[in-house]
Homo-oligomer: A and B are copies of this chain.
Amino acid sequence: MKKEIITITFAVVTALAINSLNAQDMSNGKLDKIEVTEDMQPVNPDWFTGTGWLEMLVTDTDTFGVSVGNVIFKPGCRNHWHKHPGGQLLIVTDGMGYYQERGKPVQVLHKGDVVAIYPGVEHWHGATPDSWFAHMALGTNPEAAPTEWMEPVSDDVYFNLDK
């Protein structure tokens, strides 16, 4: 009986430790879940593959000269290729994601990473296939022309990225 209890104890402690590692975001940043509040709206399916949510948090661009939106991506969710005539900054707040510019290798993003996307640079971003992902998207130069959307990132490309 003693041996059995110790075995069970070991199993429980190991399971907790593994769960803790995922939740602690200490291994590679992979997250099983990010809370989506009811203030968030589904992203536009014309511009995204998969499931994501957006909430605009700063819209007074007359005062600040920049907008801020919180975007949450379920695993596998990514936006189509696009470019911003006014540029964009991404600040990663949770999970693990991808960012890729046309003709370049994909970059893996983790909490605390900041991406400066220059005006006119074609790119896409989103979650990895096995992690939730969240970033703040800063719309810079709000007086510039709106975002130009292009083709989706196909499954063939997304699941065979050159990392």
Taking Cβ atoms with an 8 Å cutoff, the residues of A that contact B are 1-2, 5-6, 8-9, 12-13, 16-17, 19-20, 23-24, 26, 57-58, 60, 63-66, 68, 70, 87, 89, 91, 93-94, 111-112, 114, 116, 118-119, 134, 136, 138, 140-141
State the CA gap A118–B58 with chains docked (Å).
12
Closest 4 CB pairs of A and B: A23-B24, A20-B20, A64-B140, A57-B114
Measured CB to CB, the nearest residue on chain B to A35 is B112
- A sample of 15 more A-B contacts (CB under 8 A), given A2-B5, A23-B23, is A13-B16, A20-B23, A23-B26, A57-B114, A58-B116, A63-B87, A64-B87, A64-B89, A64-B140, A64-B141, A65-B65, A65-B140, A66-B89, A93-B93, A94-B111
Name the distance in Å between A147's Cβ and chain B's nearest Cβ: 16
